[in-house]
Structure 1
């Protein structure tokens, strides 16, 4: 039930008639009671981790920080401890020492050493989050002009300034999932994209279907010489030029997103279940180009992504697959049967 509640919140935000693109006021923080966190999973983080994220969010709210600042805090805790309040750190796991040769004493959500505060405070999720935010305020007064990963780096003084970058999108998902509010925070720079600004709807036919991308077909379904591995194998979908990098990717039909992320070969992938044994897959988006989340309800012709070149790709294009009862089928005749001619 809690998972359904979260899914319902996202569904209302994505499909509501009047407030589809409504976003939080970026200057006003969000509030969440850690005791109210449902027993659910968001972006791969489970209940214990989500409760800790709620403490981070609330600590930022109590300091009067913005939604972006709060999300930076969640991102940093993800990068430091995977949102787990652990009582050990880099010395115990990797023998890491400080520049003076002394053992590191990192613990808690933010892996804070002795200089941050007492052991009890560093192991208190709310107090350790407050200490992080206070340091961020003092050390990074120009943070509004910096990428989130650089804000975290300046606050934590870690070795790699871009260590936290990959945690930004999951942090946005967690904050939105816990609060039920669309933040409008998009991309690795943490800028506000204004909700649905810039998204383009596709054309839906009388049968309720839409082409998944614009542009000509550049590689059809069937056996071919793989352009990267140079061996003969089944090409399990139809490739579109898709209008080039960042061109719109549209849902072929109404359904539910069952997967959003990277497959085992690094391909950015969105999978939609349309019911009746029919699924569609959309490959090669970058992280920032996947505009929906697992569990979202999407409409035919809704822009769900942007054309990219992640994974096994030699250039920006959309790989579109259709599965019927779990088996790949040729998308061109399948879509033709529902009134869509691909590549036009």
Structure 2
């Protein structure tokens, strides 16, 4: 049997074909629900797909069969339409919804719908070449990503697949939504999930916006940058560890390792990367001449790049323990046009989010 024949047999295996009707168990929100419900709804819905359409968003034939296998694998793990769409999007970006028996220059051992590597994390060669099994392993890994639903689709896929480009998958989000909506018989998903550009948190509209799913609460254009108690205040102090400053230019939030860090206000990213003493940091520039600083993150947790615009309350990173630090926390600073200022009275006035 040729390699092409083997791939064809594997593609058809996960989908039950009866009299030309492909039966796929899907999980997702009903057509009339809003974007937030589409992101979080976990109600099981049995959907009959009467055959496969000729083409959807440029994908056809075996590609759509593979998309159905991905959706089935996600549904079997209890994932809703949003989670299934993340899987379809990732396969589109990695292999064009095809079971590839070859890798590339970066990963010559990559195989299958998700271009999974032969490093033991993705099973055997046969597992990686089987659409349902490889998709199942993708979804298992996706669900191990802390807070993956609070990330944008492309960020969630990046954390799972470790693509070199954080935003690589974003351009596949819209066609993935169209494919999932069509195969699930739920055209309402195009409106619910299609408003996202693939680089926004789940439920966010194009261009972001306060109050979106995966964002912090916003009041008068400002947001609390992290949850948790304030463990160190602004001003003079005894150095808590060797190398730390005796004047604290910000405040510390002890929210816990891996907890979300939100943009305190809309602005532009002017720094995102390594910084002395901070491990890694993010610096945002805002209207009115203000800047905010976020420190002690791990490099893989920086979710925005220099030059990007962010919205108030947008997830930009996660709390870490990088640099000169005594434990996981967010170091947060506010600067006016002259110098660092105490963030507590500032946030009390502008967002009423600090006691």
Scaled by the length of structure 1, what TM-score is found?
Answer: 0.49
TM-score normalised by length of structure 2 = 0.47
More RCO (CA 8 Å, sep 6+): 1
